Amino acid sequence: MSSPATPATVDPADAAWIDPALVAQIRSDLLDHPGPLTEAAVAAAVRRSGRVLGSAALPELVARLTAQLSGAGPLQPLLDRPGVTDVFVNGPRDVWADFGDGLVPVPLSLGAESDVRALAVRLAASGGRRLDDSSPLVDVRLPDGIRVNAVIPPLSGEVTVLSFRIPRPLAFGLEDLVRDGFVPAPLVTLIAEAVSRRANLLISGGTGSGKTVLLGAILSAAPERHRLLIVEDSRELAVAHPHVVQLSARQANVEGVGEVQLTTLVRNALRMRPDRLVVGEVRGAEVRDMLTALNTGHEGGCATIHANTCAAVPARLEALGALAGMSAAAVHAQTATAIDLLLHIRRDAAGPGRRGIAEVAVPVLVDDRVRTQPVWDRDAGFHPDGVAALQRTFAAKAPS
């Protein structure tokens, strides 16, 4: 989704780096006065530092210091900006952000490399993970839902690299995506009927293309009486629906125990009587359990998958099935009867920097292998043969 009101760059004053000496002084003072890290505690530490500030400047300094000490440091104002979806740190003075219209550089300094690494270590710890020479990369979900990936040298060269994925707090409906151009108007009726007929949908696309956004909008259109069971590696889906149960996987803790994998969650979800089973992203052995579920009476299922085109999805499923010990023949046979419709999203599909649905296809079994038959694409519109195949699929499913 685009955010026209958001400027392409960020004013450095919005997220200025606080004097490191002051941060160190405040941190030392707070250690001498233990207690909850609140803005009131930081304000008291600032007063004890002897810093003379006006009544208007004090709240701003306190807010920034609190972010430096407990949040994402100087990145916190950027992460809090409306419309931002991704923030990337490639070095202390190499910061990029995506406000919905593609990546743009942000004029922001994070201090020295040691400051960036210290920030990465602290963020990893807040997510219950360790980041050091023995564990030089980490992927964690912070308490506020932001997903952080961090890599430290020497794996990342000479600088610490951070990647932030910011979840959307509000769910979008199909009408919102139509207005934005993400969903072309000719596809609205098709998608609505797919939801009504409880067709099993698979959404493909690259990283950050908007798969989760589209999936959330589609699920929001499901009948209110349906119970949605959503399984995700990290909770990202926002769905405007009255009956949603969301399960998320858990990584092992610092001691290497406590891991709960997606495969376990998918199997457990089937025991929770879902009307629609949703796998946020299929990227491993859980593909076996998903295909099995969609072949055993669980209709209206949805999932997303990384793939370059609709035509590339069968090969991608075959590769994931191999991770689960499935033969290629088994993957193709299961896919042909489990998946009813493919929706592919591509960046720049709706214009430069704008994401959207690029093509729609149906999987068909040809010589024991799944092939994709185009139903619609942005260049040619609807394909009569693909439309006829989709209508046959819909005809075999009673409206919910």
pLDDT confidence of 54, banded at 50, 70, 90? low
Q: Which of the listed residues 165, 190, 208 is the one where a domain comes to its end?
A: 165
Determine the average pLDDT of the residues in 76-96.
Answer: 91
pLDDT confidence of 11, banded at 50, 70, 90? very low
Residue 148 maps to which CATH number? Answer: 3.30.450.370
pLDDT at 18: 52
Number of Cβ within a 10 Å radius of residue 196 = 17
CA distance 95 to 87: 7
Question: Is the domain of 331 the same as that of 193?
Answer: yes
DSSP characters over 291-343: HHHHTTT--S-EEEEE-SSSTTHHHHHHHHHHHTT--HHHHHHHHHHH--EEE
Question: Is the domain of 129 the same as that of 254?
Answer: no
Question: Is the domain of 300 the same as that of 330?
Answer: yes
What is the extent of the structural domain holding 140?
A: 12-165
| Token pair listed for 137 | 């990369």
Please report whether residue 3 resides in a domain: no
> Torsions phi, psi of 197, nearest 5?
-85, 0
pLDDT confidence of 36, banded at 50, 70, 90? low
**pLDDT per position as a tens digit, 228-270:** 999 998 788 889 999 999 998 887 776 777 888 888 999 999 9
pLDDT at 72: 83
Lowest mean pLDDT among 291-300, 305-314, 380-389: 291-300
**Is the per-residue pLDDT at 322 higher than 80?**
yes
CA distance 68 to 77: 10
Judge whether 263 and 192 are in contact, CB under 8 Å: no
Question: Is the domain of 35 the same as that of 127?
Answer: yes
Please report whether residue 248 resides in a domain: yes
Question: Is the domain of 64 the same as that of 153?
Answer: yes
CA distance 139 to 350: 31
**Is the per-residue pLDDT at 296 higher than 70?**
yes
Question: Is the domain of 63 the same as that of 131?
Answer: yes
Please report whether residue 4 resides in a domain: no
pLDDT at 16: 42
**What angle, rounded to 10 degrees, do the helices at 20-32 and 39-48 form?**
110
Average pLDDT over the chain reads: 85
Q: How many domains does the chain have?
A: 2
Angle at 298 between CA 296 and CA 301, to 5 degrees: 130
Place of tokens 């093509």: 359
**pLDDT per position as a tens digit, 365-377:** 999 999 999 999 9
Instruction: State percent of the chain over pLDDT 70.
Output: 85
**What angle, rounded to 10 degrees, do the helices at 20-32 and 57-70 form?**
80
| Token pair listed for 219 | 């699920």
Please report whether residue 400 resides in a domain: no
Please report whether residue 134 resides in a domain: yes
Question: Is the domain of 252 the same as that of 133?
Answer: no
Residue 359, Ramachandran bin (φ over 0: left; ψ between -120 and 50: alpha; else beta): beta
Question: Is the domain of 183 the same as that of 330?
Answer: yes
CA distance 338 to 199: 9
Question: Is the domain of 116 the same as that of 203?
Answer: no
pLDDT at 13: 39
**Residue 249 DSSP one-character state:** -
pLDDT at 100: 77
3-state DSSP call for residue 360?
strand
Question: Is the domain of 117 the same as that of 180?
Answer: no
Question: Where is pLDDT greater, at 42 or 270?
Answer: 270
**pLDDT per position as a tens digit, 177-188:** 999 899 999 999
pLDDT at 247: 93
Question: Is the domain of 33 the same as that of 136?
Answer: yes
pLDDT at 4: 36
Find the farthest-apart pair of alpha carbons in the chain and give their distance in angstroms, rounded.
80
Q: Where are the beta strands (DSSP E) in the chain?
A: 86-91, 94-98, 103-106, 137-141, 147-151, 161-165, 201-205, 228-232, 244-248, 276-279, 302-306, 341-346, 356-366, 369-377, 381-382
Q: What is the pTM of this model?
A: 0.75
**Is the per-residue pLDDT at 355 higher than 90?**
no
- How many helices (H) and strands (E) the chain has is answered by 13, 15
> Torsions phi, psi of 278, nearest 5?
-125, 125
For the chain, the straight-line distance linking the first and the last C-alpha, in angstroms and rounded, comes to: 30
Please report whether residue 2 resides in a domain: no
Please report whether residue 184 resides in a domain: yes
**Is the per-residue pLDDT at 128 higher than 80?**
no
**pLDDT per position as a tens digit, 92-118:** 999 999 987 788 999 988 889 998 998
Please report whether residue 265 resides in a domain: yes
pLDDT at 313: 96
Side-chain-facing half-sphere of 161: CA atoms under 13 Å = 10
- The H-assigned helical ranges of 56-187 are 57-70, 76-79, 113-126, 174-180
Q: Which of the listed residues 144, 165, 186 is the one where a domain comes to its end?
A: 165
pLDDT at 9: 41
CA distance 296 to 267: 13
**Is the per-residue pLDDT at 24 higher than 70?**
no
Instruction: State percent of the chain over pLDDT 90.
Output: 52
Residue 191 maps to which CATH number? Answer: 3.40.50.300
Nearest to 263 by CA among 251, 280, 249, 273: 249
Q: Which of the listed residues 165, 193, 225 is the one where a domain comes to its end?
A: 165
Handedness of CA 114, 115, 119, 120 (dihedral sign): negative
Provide the Cα torsion 125, 126, 127, 132; round to 10°: -20
Determine the average pLDDT of the residues in 150-165.
Answer: 96
Give 80's contacts (C-beta < 8 A, 6+ positions apart).
none
Question: Is the domain of 104 the same as that of 222?
Answer: no
Q: Which helix (H) or strand (E) holds 393?
A: helix 384-395
**Is the per-residue pLDDT at 195 higher than 90?**
yes
Distance of CA 4 to the CA centre of its chain: 21
